[in-house]
Structure 1
Amino acid sequence: MAEELRRVARVVLLDPDDRILLMHGFEPDDPASRWWFTPGGGVEAGESLLEAARRELAEETGITDAELGPELWRRTCSFPFDGRRWDQDESYFLGRTTRTGTSTTGHTELERRSVAGLRWWTSAELSASHETVYPTRLAELLRTLLDDGPPGSPVLLETERV
């Protein structure tokens, strides 16, 4: 992996019915290569992880009123996307919102070329799905979160390299 990991803040956003909001991504040069993932992105200079999570959530979903925290999970991952390899150190924060309407008007140029849409998933739908979801154990992690509540300290997930 690269020496420098990109710091990323992600949001496990739940609505009042405990559905999770996921983004449907695809490889810009290969639209058949698709997956689902949580909103979030890179931390900018001077931002805290929570500030980055809030900004990314607003940009990617249009949701600005979510309550964020605590940090649930941490993961290191590496994957090819849009012609380069991305090496990331990701922190996942719990988010709660009463708003289920989303907007993609804040998407970056790359997101406009690589995000097919957003969808709210129930835990059961996520568990039954055969689609690719990142992190790969998200269905199990979500079920544990809903059953047991947030962990006392962030859980370190296994490194994923695609």
Structure 2
Amino acid sequence: MTTPTPPLREAARAIVLDTDQQARVLLLRYDEGGGFWATPGGSLEDADEGDHAAAVLREMGEELGVLEEAIELGGQLAERSKEHLVGGREVRQVEKYFLARISAAAIDPARASHSDNIREHRWWTLTELNATDETIYPLGLADLVTGVLEHGAPVRPVVLDG
């Protein structure tokens, strides 16, 4: 007996670097599943949204109150595919990760329109990312950011695990 393939859920996420302190990455804290930190982003709204890059800009405004003109959006750095529950139903989520640079001062939670159960936001140094015992998604984020800072964006998006 075969199990049906969960429906596809396309998502766009941002690997956000601080324009003022280059080696800092912005992560959001969630309490679900024992608690974890993740990059900003979410699912594409519908076919009218345009593309993944447009979704990243929208999500950063919704989650963090960052105005679109404050975001320096780069190209796609990575992709990840994972099956998990969203709203109580199993989906196969395919996430595209884009490089984004903002100033820490651009974040304004008072302007955020969809907090999506975000408990807090925090800037992490690479040293902190490498030393923490907390769960960070995507796996391999510190290595990806280190590579971007040392060598620039990859020629083709990197495929990330879980």
TM class, shorter-chain normalised? 0.7 to 0.9
Moved more, 100-109 or 47-56: 100-109
Residue 43 (structure 1) aligns with: 44
SS at 2:35's partner residue? strand
Give the deviation of 1:23 after TM superposition.
0.2
1:90 aligns with 2:90: no
Residue 108 (structure 1) aligns with: 114
Is contact 2:62-2:113 (8 Å) kept?
yes
Give the deviation of 1:3 after TM superposition.
4.1
1:130 aligns with 2:136: no
Percent of residue pairs identical: 37
Residue 74 (structure 1) aligns with: 79
Cα distance between partner residues in 2 of 1:119 and 1:102: 11
TM-align CA RMSD: 1.9
Match of 2:26 among 21, 25, 28: 21
Match of 2:158 among 145, 155, 158: 155
Is contact 2:65-2:113 (8 Å) kept?
no
In structure 1, the gaps of 5 or more residues are none
In structure 2, the gaps of 5 or more residues are none
How many residues were matched structurally? 152
Give the deviation of 1:21 after TM superposition.
0.6
Cα distance between partner residues in 1 of 2:113 and 2:88: 19
